[in-house]
Amino acid sequence: MSQYNIKKYAVIGAGNMGSGIAQKIATEGHPCILVDLDDEKVERGMNIIKDLLAQGVERKVFRPQQVEKILANLHGTSDWSELADVDLVIEAVFENVDVKRSVFERLSKNCKETAILATNTSSFYVRDLVSAVSHPERLIGLHYFFHPAKNRLVEVIGHEGTSPEAYAAAWASQEAIGKTPIWSADAPGFVVNRYFVPWVNEGVRLLGEGVANLATIEWAAKKAFGVGMGPFELMNVTGVPISMHAANTLGETLGAFYAPGQALIDFCATGEKNWSLEGEVDESKYDVIADRMLGVTFYVASKLVDEGVASVEDIDIGARVGLRWPAGPFELLNQTGVERSRSLAEAAAATYDLEIPEILVKAENHGIPIELVSLSDVGDVEEVRFNRPAAMNALDKTMFIQFDGKLQLARATGKPFVLRGTGKAFVAGADIKFFVDSLNSDSYPAIAEFAGYGQKLFATLGGGEHATVSRLHGLALGGGAEMAISTDYIVASPNAVLGFPETSIGIFPGLGGTQRLPRRIGYPFAKYLLYTGQMLDARTALSIGLIDAVADFSELDATCYEWATKKSIVGREAPTSCSHEKMQAVWDFFEQYSVDEILSGEADCMGNPNLEKAVKRMSQKSYHALKLCEALFVEGAHLELDRALELESRDLATAFNHADALEGLSALLEGRRPNFQQPAFA
C-alpha cells in the first residue's frame, strides 16, 4: 500500500483559482479545506464558490440538495493547524516565488510528512520550491486551467526528486476529482501555455506588423483552428495583463521568439482594459494569417516533444481538453500535411534564427504518429491506455487498428496487461456519428466490418496465457462495458459507472454483450441491464458480480496489478441464482417474465417501486431491439461462447437495418428523445 493515501484535500489561496479548485474537489465528493491569509479572505473565497453554485442551481446544473452536499465537504479557515491531517495540499497563492516559498515552509511545519504538497504555479519551475519543503520527494506541480471547476485539464509535473509513488498518488488524486491529467516535465510554461502563449502573441505580431486589422486576425484565427474565440477576445476574457505577463516570463527564459509583441506592450502602456474587436474583415488575408499562426503552433508543439517536455498525445489532449480546440496541434499538423507544416514551422523559426525540431525534420509524409492507444511498461505488467479523453475514448476504426497493434505488442512482452482510459471515461462506447453517417449513406457493410473487427479483438482479451484487467475509473458504457467484460477481471474506482444503453438507441450490444454479460452475472441480471439500460455504480456492480474489485484511487493501480498477476479465467459459467439479497426481486422478475409479458402489463411488479421503474424504462426503449436481445439470450444460452457470439454478427444487420436504429442513434446525436416504433399491444 502506498504511503500516500489521498482522502482529504486542502487548497491554499482562496482567489480565482484556489476557490475553483476547492469547489471541484468538493463537488466530486471529497472533503476540502480552503485556506487564506485571514478570515475575510477565506469568506470572500467561500462566497465565490457559493455564488457559482447558486448560478448552477438557477441553470439546473445542480439540485439544491447537491449544493448542500458540496458545501458540506468544504471548510474555510485561516488556521493552518487544521492542515495536520490533510493528504494533499494545493497551493494557489499569488504568483510570487517568495510568497510561495514561505507558504511551502509553513506547510512543511503544519502538514504530516506523507502529505503531498503541490503548487499551481504558472511561471516558476516546481524545482524552485524544493528548498522550502521538508521531504521534497512529495513536492509536485499541479497546473490547472481557468476555470478550474469546469476545465478538466491538469498538468502533473514532478521535479527531479519527486518520488514515483508521490507522482502516481498525485495523478490518481486528479482522476478522483474528475480531472484529465497529462504528464509534463518541469519546464517553462509546462505544456499548454508554451504553445498557447505564442499562438496569442502571433496574433499580436500580425497586428503590429500591419498584416491585417484586428477583426480580420480574430476571424482568420477562429477559422483556421475551429475555435470560438480568437487571440484578442481571449485576452479580453482572461485579462490582457495576464497575457503580457505570460509572454514576458516565457520570453525571459526562452528568448525573443516567445517575448511579447510590441503591439501588446504598447496596448498595456495605454492602460486600456479590452481590445476593441470591431472592424471590417478582409477575407483575402486568411491564408497569410492562418499560415503564420499554424507555423508558430507547429514549431512550438514539435519543440516540446524534442525537449522531452511532453508527448505528442498529451500535447493534443492539452489542446482539446484544456483549450477546447477541436483538433490538437499534431492532428492539425497531419491534416495540413507534413511537408507544408514543416515549411510553415520553418518560416516561424527562421524569423528568430531558430532550427526546426528534429521530430519535424524526420517526420514521414504520411504524418506524425499519434497514439490514440498507447502501451507502457509498468514493471511486471503492461498498460494499454486509451488516449482520446475529449471524445471519452469512444471506439472507432482508428482506435481499433491501434488497439490491435498494441495488443500484439503487449502479448509479445509475455506479461499480463491492464486496460485503462484517460480522462473522465474508461471507454464511453462506440463512435455514434460513424454509425449515423454510415446508415445515412447506406453503407451498413462499414458498420458490419467495424463490429466484426471489434468482436475479433475482444475475443482475444480474456482467457489467454496471462490475465487481463480492465481498470475502470469513470464511465464504461456500451462498447466500453463490453470491452471490460471481455477481459478476465474488472477493477473499478468507487466513482466508476457501467451500463449497456444500446436498446435506448435502437440496437443491441454487438461486441459480445448479449453473450458474455449473462455468463458473468446470470441471465436475469443481464436482461435487467440490457432491457432497462440501467447504469450501475461500482459497489452495486460488485455486489452482482459484474466487476471483481473496488479500490480507492490511491490503491487502484496496485489493485489492478495484483489482479493482473492472478491466473487468467478460461470461460465463465452463467450463475443460476441471485448473489445479492437486495436484488432478489429484480432477479426473480426478469427470470420469470418475457419482454412481451412485461411490456403488455401482464407481469406483476407486486408494488415494488424498483421493478415499476424498470418497466417504465423498458417502455421507453426500442421494442425491436428488446426483442432481438431476448432472442439472442434464448438462442445463445445453449451454445458454447464462440458459437453464441456468432449470433450477434448474424443479427447485427437486422438491428441496424431497422428504422429504430437510425432514429435512436440520430436522436442521441441531436439530444432529443427517440420516437421508436411501438409494439402492437401498446
Ligand X SMILES: NC(=O)c1ccc[n+]([C@@H]2O[C@H](COP(=O)([O-])OP(=O)(O)OC[C@H]3O[C@@H](n4cnc5c(N)ncnc54)[C@H](O)[C@@H]3O)[C@@H](O)[C@H]2O)c1
Reply yes or no on whether 440 is catalytic: no
In the complex, least distance from residue 486 CB atom to ligand X, rounded to whole angstroms: 40
SS3 category, 13: coil
Cell numbers standing for residue 568: 487468467
Candidates 120, 193, 470, 495; catalytic one:
193
Nearer to ligand X, 95 or 128 (CB): 95
CA distances from 579 to 482, 521, 527, 542, 576 (A): 21, 9, 16, 10, 9
Q: Rule CB under 6 A: is residue 95 a binding residue for ligand X?
A: yes
Per rule CB under 6 A, is residue 80 in the interface with ligand X? Answer: no
The active-site residue, picked from 143, 159, 473, 658, is 143
Which residues, numbered 33-72, are part of the site for ligand X (CB under 6 A)? 35-37, 41
The DSSP annotation for 230-247 comes to -HHHHHHHH-HHHHHHHH
Provide, rounded to whole angstroms, the least separation between the CB of residue 145 and ligand X.
6
- Contacts for 491 with CB less than 8 Å, ≥ 6 apart: 469, 470, 471, 472, 547, 548, 549, 550, 551, 556, 559, 560, 563
Is residue 99 within the footprint of ligand X (CB under 6 A)?
Answer: yes
- The 8 Å CB, 24+ separation contacts for 524-527 are 524/578, 524/586, 524/587, 524/588, 524/589, 524/590, 524/591, 525/578, 525/583, 525/586, 525/587, 525/590, 526/633, 527/590, 527/629, 527/630, 527/633
Q: Which of 144, 171, 623, 676 binds ligand X (CB under 6 A)?
A: 144
Establish if 236 lies at the interface with ligand X (CB under 6 A).
no
What is the smallest separation between the CB atom of 582 and ligand X, expressed in angstroms?
45
Q: Which of 16, 236, 579, 594 binds ligand X (CB under 6 A)?
A: 16
CB of 18 to ligand X, least distance (A): 5
Is residue 140 a contact residue for ligand X (CB under 6 A)?
no
Task: Kindly state the number of chain residues that form the binding site for ligand X, as judged by CB under 6 A.
Answer: 22
Residue with smaller CB distance to ligand X, 95 or 562: 95
Cell of 506: 435502437
Give residue number: closest CB to ligand X. 15
Contact mark string toward ligand X, 100..139, x via CB under 6 A: ---x----------------xxx-----------------
State the nearest-atom distance from the C-beta of 40 to ligand X, in Å: 9
Q: Say how far apart CA 143 and CA 154 lie, in whole Å.
A: 5
Sheet holding 475-477, edge to edge: 425-427, 475-477, 497-499, 536-537
For ligand X, the closer of residues 41 and 138 by Cβ is: 41
Residue 134 CB, nearest distance to ligand X (Å)? 18
Q: In the bound complex, what is the minimum distance in angstroms from residue 233's beta carbon to ligand X?
A: 16
Contact between 511 and ligand X by CB under 6 A: the answer reads no
- ∠ CA 657-658-660, nearest 5°, is 130
Q: Which is nearer to ligand X, 12 or 491 (CB)?
A: 12
Residue 618 neighbours by CB under 8 Å, 6+ apart: 531, 532, 595, 598, 599, 626
| Sheet with 468-472, side-by-side order of all strands | 373-377, 382-386, 417-421, 468-472, 489-492, 549-550
User: Which of 34, 49, 86, 93 lies at the binding interface for ligand X (CB under 6 A)?
Assistant: 93
Q: What is the smallest separation between the CB atom of 218 and ligand X, expressed in angstroms?
A: 21
Q: Which is nearer to ligand X, 17 or 517 (CB)?
A: 17
Q: Catalytic: 155?
A: yes
* Residue 491 within binding range of ligand X, rule CB under 6 A: no
Q: Is 178 exposed, middle or buried, given 0-12, 13-18 or 19+ CB atoms closer than 10 A?
A: middle
| Total Cβ atoms within 10 A of residue 353 | 9
Q: How far apart are CA 342 and CA 363, in angstroms?
A: 9
CA–CA separation, 296 and 195 (whole Å): 8
How many Å separate Cα 474 from the centre of its chain?
9
In whole angstroms, give the CA distance from residue 648 to residue 451.
10
Told to check if 388 binds ligand X by CB under 6 A, we report: no
- Exactly one of 18, 251, 462, 524 binds ligand X (CB under 6 A); that residue is 18
In whole angstroms, the minimum distance from the beta carbon of 126 to ligand X comes to: 12
**Is residue 540 near ligand X by the rule CB under 6 A?**
no
Contact flag: residue 237 with ligand X (CB under 6 A): no
**Calpha distance 521→547 (Å, rounded):** 9
Residues listed for the chain: 682
Q: What is the DSSP letter of 566?
A: S
Which of 4, 10, 13, 420 binds ligand X (CB under 6 A)? It is 13
Q: Which is nearer to ligand X, 239 or 367 (CB)?
A: 239
Catalytic-labelled residue, pool 91, 155, 233, 382: 155
**Residue 78 bears catalytic tag:** no
Please tell me the distance from the alpha carbon of residue 40 to that of residue 36, in angstroms, as a whole number.
Answer: 9
| Nearer CB in complex with ligand X: 12/645 | 12
Q: Is 594 among the residues that bind ligand X (CB under 6 A)?
A: no
Site membership for ligand X, residue 14 (CB under 6 A): yes
Contact segment (CB under 6 A) with ligand X among 95-103, 311-319, 489-497, 670-678 equals 95-103
Taking the C-alpha atoms of residue 438 and residue 430, their distance in angstroms, rounded to an integer, is: 13
* 181/416 with CB nearer ligand X: 181
Q: In whole angstroms, how close is the CB of 121 to ligand X at the nearest point?
A: 5
- Footprint of ligand X (CB under 6 A): 12-18, 35-37, 41, 92-95, 99, 103, 120-122, 144, 146
Residues annotated as part of the active site:
122, 143, 155, 193
